[in-house]
Structure 1
């Protein structure tokens, strides 16, 4: 049996707590021995949950001693605070699990990759969707030639109306100055999947269109207040903070999104009411300081004729239930397509063949997103569990091949995201990244 892996959690918020839960589910495989977070409530809660010694609880990375405390570090800080801990821990020799995105500029992403390479440490970026069994099945079918040459990838991310309002209108990712643009913050997962399925083919050209729609002062209903709890038209608003948060607490639901409202206590009716009266999540969605895109399309042309199209839209009832169609040409006069709805389930279907007849019939592949015993790690369709399983196994066995989202490939997909956003802003078609992107990408167009 492989040795138990000791880890430090940097950032004890929502994502840090989820990844740390792997030690609860599989104590023989992972142990949390340190935590760093400036928030005393979050830091102490995680310390108590994992019985971390008091002298191994820190307010920041600079407090950590030079002596190694663990085998690996899980960096789950806000987006703009990824680079410093990643560089510091890499230089100290820790293997790194880094929450996505790698960083909010291409230069910082490149530096993180370079330092990890120079320090000879493993880096796994939390592109959890890559680790889904359904995504791996799609990759397997593509690589096996089951659909022939991949011709086109069509991928949709329906963010969900209240999810977008929570995270990208009221929440931490609402402004580029405070976090980053929404294609990077929300959809770098999806561009990474397309790049992954493209199988090493370089993206030659990229264009993009999108904007901030609806969540503006001009669309605020007549008579609306700046806060939901004092609003005369709140009852008829689908974005009512009372409905999204307070009603959930009343019904005993204190998981996400309620769980992130209170920074100094567990959520209850009193603390959530106070948060809605004074904090960002109680504001009218039409009277916030948000500036990120609500809808965006990205069009990509890869080598060997492969094209791809990605769409992200906020205004959907479904939440993050991504849908993918991958079309390929098996033989002359025959085409096939892979269709994945909600991603935990994958369907493969042939389309019209010679003479307009359906041949062969639909084939459905069922995959189990997460095995028994992984409760608490079921986020992203089970991707949270599979990511942690692979990373901890890689560290325990010193085998970076187990990591599906390593530094070089992740950097390539990030450069493509930066190029796509630049193309949207400038209204032009650009090179897709790669070596050219390292030289030409402009992160502040």
Structure 2
């Protein structure tokens, strides 16, 4: 019988993979739900979450007994070996310690991005998982979409010849940015992380995955341009529910959390984050008392709302990346410039122009919606399925967002911030 809990090439488990969940917020709960749906038959066997309602909800959804519920990840870590792997979906600042501890205990780990809030801590995690000989997969969900897999396949097949450069846009969406990076948990460099790390570590990692070369030099420019106190319209109130300008304001909280103007699935997802409930009383209280009801021009946010990053890779390949708040929320847009053609992608459709024939071939990957509410274009599901299959079937090639790749792409993010703040080019 194979009862080894760590991934070994060609060595499959003969029982369901057992996974513990650390952090049962929106991301953790979503990942746990996808584990239950995964064709590998993996199961959630424990949860560590300080909030009773979220903890009990996971218990009910996954049939967990009282002894499998923990108020703190430290309790789970000292409870004896209860699982083969652990999903760590805590707040960004709380990734390092549980990752180090569970690696030391021999758990394989699925860790929400970013790895950590400093390059040094990213390296510490990478060293810990190597020393423990466990598998670490980082939740760079963009790698795991059907769209990305098809795009990489086309590039590897030489559809555009040699890759010369890449142009990549991440359109966050005006209301999504206001929710997460003005009013939300990721609004402060002082208390958390720069927006490039919190949001776009996905994209910097994705570029490395697509280009397949080591980054050598980085430059970056960006700032907080709009969501500032000096941009507050005359007559605006401190809270949207009291504001006479709310009907004409693109960022009025009522439009997202009450009226559902931006689509019911998105409203429910973001409203649940803001109000911790979808009932009228919970939403009204959140907009009256909580941070999600405050004016976007009267907050304590300091992260960039627009940023560009330029990267030079080995062999002279270049990439330019733009992330901005001032768009609709939609899929990323990418152009890959090659010696023999151009590839254009929008997160679902891929068009390849062949220079030799001047003919364009179109591929439809039938991706899901772009936002977290929609599962990141199928990336959430793809990540969980490949993580579970990789561990269950002994197939390490399925887990592409491993520690080595993720530490390398995080170093690019930190270098970009150093370049932006210092007005310089940073060598890696």
| TM bucket normalised to smaller | over 0.9
- Report how many residues are paired: 411
Say if 2:88 and 2:95, in contact at 8 Å, map to a contact too.
yes
Aligned equivalent of 1:323: 333
Provide the secondary structure at the position in 1 that maps to 2:268. Answer: coil
User: For 1:192 and 1:416, how far apart are their aligned partners in 2?
Assistant: 9
The answer for the alignment partner of 2:290 in structure 1 is 279
Query: 1:179: Cα distance to partner?
Result: 2.0
Structure 2 counterpart of 1:422, from 411, 418, 421: 418
Q: Which residue of 1 aligns with 2:365?
A: 367
Aligned twin of 1:373: none
1:366 CA drift (Å): 2.0
SS of alignment partner, residue 321 of structure 2: strand
Q: Over residues 257-301 of structure 1, what are the superposed CA-to-partner deviations in whole Å (9 max), with x where a residue is unaligned?
A: 1111234xx321110000111001000000000000000000111
1:282-332 deviation digits (Å, cap 9, x = unpaired): 000000000000000001111212111000010112x141000001103xx
The 2-side partners of 1:28 and 1:147 are apart by: 36
1:119-158 per-residue CA deviation (whole Å, 9 max, x = no partner) reads 1111000000011111112211222222111101000001
Please give the TM-score of this superposition, normalised by the length of structure 1.
0.89
- What's 1:296 paired with? 307
**1:2 Cα offset (Å):** 5.3
Q: Residue 178 of structure 1 aligns with which residue?
A: 191
Task: List alignment gaps of at least 5 residues for structure 1.
Answer: 331-335, 354-358, 371-375, 434-445
Provide, for residues 313-366 of structure 1, a one-character-per-residue CA deviation record: whole Å limited to 9, x for no partner.
10112x141000001103xxxxx111101x122221235x5xxxxx23110122
Number of the residue aligned with 1:348: 352
Is the Cα–Cα contact under 8 Å of residues 378 and 384 in structure 1 kept in the other structure?
no
2:399 paired with 1:403 = yes
Aligned-residue CA RMSD in angstroms?
1.9
Q: Give the counterpart of 2:48 among 26, 32, 36.
A: 36
CA separation in 1, counterparts of 2:373 and 2:389?
A: 16
**Contact in 2 for aligned 1:340/1:347 (Cα 8 Å):** yes
Secondary structure of 1:362's match? strand
Matched-pair contact (CA < 8 Å) for 2:351–2:362: yes
Contact 1:132/1:344, CA 8 A, preserved across alignment? no
Distance 1:261 1:14 in 2: 11
Say if 1:171 and 1:280, in contact at 8 Å, map to a contact too: yes
Task: Report if aligned partners of 1:346, 1:364 keep a CA contact under 8 Å in 2.
Answer: yes
Please give the alpha-carbon distance, in whole angstroms, between the structure 2 residues aligned to 1:314 and 1:367: 26
1-structure distance, mates of 2:86, 2:332: 30
**8 Å Cα contact 2:195-2:303 kept in structure 1:** yes
Which residue in the other structure is 2:6 paired with?
A: none
Distance (Å, rounded) in 2 between the aligned partners of 1:34 and 1:396: 18
Q: Distance in 2 between matches of 1:349 and 1:258?
A: 42
1:333 match: none
Contact in 1 for aligned 2:109/2:136 (Cα 8 Å): yes
- Matched residues in 1 for 2:215 and 2:38: separation? 40
Q: 2:97 maps to which residue?
A: 84
Match of 2:316 among 301, 305, 311: 305
- For 2:38 and 2:309, how far apart are their aligned partners in 1? 40
Q: Is 1:9–1:32's contact at 8 Å kept on the other side of the alignment?
A: yes
Q: What displacement does 1:83 show?
A: 0.6
- Give the Cα–Cα distance (whole angstroms) in 1 for the partners of residues 159 and 242 of structure 2: 58
Shift of 1:394: 1.2
Which residue of 120, 123, 144 maps to 1:107?
Answer: 120
Instruction: Answer yes or no: is the 8 Å Cα contact 2:36–2:44 preserved in 1.
Output: no
